[in-house]
Chains A and B, each alone.
Chain A
Amino acid sequence: MAEQDDAPTVAGRLALAQRAGGAAGPVLTAVFALLLGGFVVLATGANPLSTYRAIFDGSGLNWLFPWVSGSARSFAATNLQQTLLLTTALVLCGLAVSVGFRCGLFNIGGQGQYIVGSIFALWIGSSFVTMNGPLHVVLAIAAATLTGAAYAGIAGLLKAITGAHEVISTIMLNWIAVWVGSWLVGQGGALQSHANGASVPISSAVAPATHLHVFWGNPVLQGLDVGFFFALAALVVYAVLLNRTTLGFELRAVGFNPEAARYAGIAVARTYVKTMAIAGAFAGLAGAIDVLGWEFQLGVTDIQTSQIGFIAIAVAVLGRNRALGVFFSALLFGALLTGTSTRNLDATVFRPDLAGNLTLIIQGLVVLFVGADVLMLWLWNRRRRLRVAT
């Protein structure tokens, strides 16, 4: 097939990019994007260095420095807990996107799967209030994970049966989740809270017994819950699944070349469905952990303005779909988001309302440049040629 060399699959391209520079590419991309973001800050008339310093401090990462002490240290701890809460969701949703990429599927639907998961966790968590606590938590998490998997599975099934492109179907599923979710927790919806005469478009809260245990920080002030360990475990599961199991092998084989995989006897269509279901399970789990860990209830605006599933695309792309890469890029974006939030950024250094948009710009630049593997290959080859010349 002559077309094949013009259009390698996504996974094939990523393998190429991986060869082109390993971790160097993503790191350089992130640095480059931050640099460009610095120019944007400069153009506004602020000092980029002190702005990034303030964002770093706002993210709580300065907690890692042993010389930060006293009230600054407890402050940093609170901020770092916020960062890690976001990192948890980003790791899980990032894995949802990554696992798709490894199979040659672009799962743009992390957002929808995350919403479906959080809605189901919310539903189970806020009803059956007499249930035994631990069982209740397990049930809520399991329901969210399974419905997330089923929801993403729709896109997988459509791709397997009719060949409908997963990008289109997951985009549609995202918006369906947004509007159905808004309906459920909104005015007159089935999950709307009956407090205040049912006048506020917000859901009932989940039962206190279902709250995930906070192991670091103050449970009232959104300390870090055990969901973080779920995310770490998911990273291990992801790495083992892909590299040490038959399913993982098949998944990657399909990602590199579906035709060759078919000739090798791999059921390509079934692999698509399984992969999407795994992706949805990760994202649905993220939704459950956020709801049971720190959100506890969802409003219409929460559902409509949430961006986690989209930022996860940047996480996956920057992390090169590797477990370790996903972790570090989730940490980077979690820190950026927390560090630029109105609550955490020192307003005397840089305006927080601007900084939120700065994060979006950096995110866009990262995705734009990290995807340009041809550019990187070219630079890489340039470097090699220079070395030979000298």
Chain B
Amino acid sequence: MSVGKVGITGIVAGALAFWLTLPPLATSVVALPVLLGLLAVGCGGWAMAREQKRLGWYAVVAGVLGAALGVLAVHAGRGNLGAAVVWSALIASMLVNATPLTYAAIGGLFSERSGVVNIGLEGMMLTGAFFGIWGSDVTGSWVLGLLIAITFGGLVALVYAFFAIHLRTDQIIGGTAINFLALGVTGYLFVDIYGTVGTPPLRAAQQIPDVTISQSSNFFAQAFGQLNLMVWLSFAVLAVTYVVVFRTPLGLRIRSVGEHPRAADAVGISVYKTRYAAVVLSGMLSAMGGAYLSIGFVHSFNENMTEGRGFIALAALIFGRWRPVGAFGAALLFGFSSALAQRLGTIPNWSSYAVLFQALPYVLTLIAVAGVIGRSIPPASVGRAYAKQ
């Protein structure tokens, strides 16, 4: 057995440690998750010692988390868990939670691959959330609402791009400014237009519709039968992004501008134009994630409704090592942890731990950037303004 396979075995063992304690199996033997967790840590250690550092660390982390969660789950009792852990509902909820992150993370991917750090994802998302519902309310159609959200997300990103690219403002400072501005402007408009009563209830035509495939009670129908259109669209956006970034000349241009702008400039690629396009696209995509929140999922808006989702998206992008599939996987993982937190919150005495679960994405990302799980290496010129010569 190769070293890699041992590492993967470790990860699987760690996941199993938790899974076995959950319905339908719901074992009540505490030793089982503990042993599996130890096995995972062992495999991880072995793999790490043999030049498979990243896999090894994944296995160690999976083992520790799996064993800890498994032991907690055993203590929670079968009845409580049965009510809380319904896999089909968890998967559906994971996708719901992951979708806004996916859009914003892919947006961030375009921007950062072109060499522009985008801390402003949060603000662009919030802009999309507000203008989505405002547009939908004014025009009476979710399609126009979504388009208006995308337009304004793009405009905010254009402002940011102008400062970050032309004026060579520090990109982190610029992004921070965008977050403040978006928070202030959406809050101001929201209070000014909708006052204390909040956004009006949306008619069916003003909401992004669900795609109903099946309403039967089997597992797949429960998990995937009734998902929002934006969830499916996010899969398509993901596929297109992968192809564009890694399989087309355009993607090569974006990446080369992010890695070595001067070389790109020398071969005739316009660094400024490419970066402008990438940043504006990132604003549009983030706004789609925001609009999904307001008119696809919650059906209302309140001040600061994105509540840091833009930052989780940024974390997903980094955790996914600036790759579309990696970022999507991280978004799913973070979405799953939110979904699980929401379900666990329903178990008596567990609600406090559910709050702790919210910190998980950030802890994982911190571990990832720390380099213990194979370093996340950003594009070489990300965050550096380019001065044309």
Contacts and interface: CB of A to CB of B under 8 A. Distances in A.
Nearest to B303: A357
A189 B371 contact: no
Contacts of B262: 2, 6
A381 B353 CA distance: 58
How many B residues touch the partner, as a band?
35 or more
A259 interface: no
B362 interface: yes
A169 B369 contact: yes
Give the one of B117, B174, B177, B303 with max A CB within 10 A.
Answer: B177
Contact of A363 (B180, B375, B383): B180
Contacts, number: 161
Contact of B173 (A5, A162, A188, A367): A367
B91 to A, nearest CB: 24
Contacts of B375: 162-163
B356 interface: yes
A172 B375 CA distance: 16
Contacts of A186: 352, 355
Given A162-B371, A179-B358, A167 B177 contact: no
A158 B369 contact: yes
A368 B169 contact: yes
Contacts of A357: 183-185, 187-188, 191, 303
B378 interface: yes
B385 to A, nearest CB: 7
B197 interface: no
Contact of B378 (A165, A171, A359): A165
B184 A183 contact: no
A139 interface: no
Contacts of A375: 167
B148 interface: no
Contacts of A178: 359
A351 B386 contact: no
B177 A364 contact: yes
Given A6-B387, A176-B363, A351-B191, A368 B163 contact: yes
Interface in A281-308: none
Nearest to B378: A165
A168 B348 CA distance: 35
A188 B356 CA distance: 12
A165 B359 contact: no
B257 interface: no
A158 B370 contact: yes
Contact of B177 (A40, A165, A367): A367
Given A171-B311, A172-B366, A371-B177, A179 B356 contact: yes
Interface in B346-389: 349, 351-353, 355-356, 358-359, 362-363, 365-366, 369-371, 375, 378, 381, 383-387
A372 interface: yes
B51 interface: no
Nearest to B166: A374
A356 B173 contact: no
A182 B187 contact: no
A19 to B, nearest CB: 16
Interface string A353-386: 1101111111111011001111100000000000
A368 B181 contact: yes
Nearest to B318: A168
Nearest to B389: A6
Contact of B168 (A314, A356, A374): A374
Contacts of B185: 357, 361
Contacts of B383: 7
A167 B170 CA distance: 12
Contact of B176 (A168, A367, A373): A367
15 contacts: A6-B261, A13-B170, A106-B173, A158-B370, A172-B363, A175-B362, A178-B359, A179-B356, A183-B356, A353-B191, A357-B183, A357-B191, A358-B184, A371-B169, A371-B173
Enumerate the 4 nearest inter-chain pairs by beta-carbon distance, A residue then B residue, closest first.
Answer: A360-B184, A364-B181, A364-B180, A188-B352
Interface of A: 2-3, 5-7, 10, 13, 40, 44, 106, 108, 158, 162-165, 167-169, 171-173, 175-176, 178-180, 182-183, 186-189, 310, 313-314, 317, 351, 353-354, 356-365, 367-368, 371-375
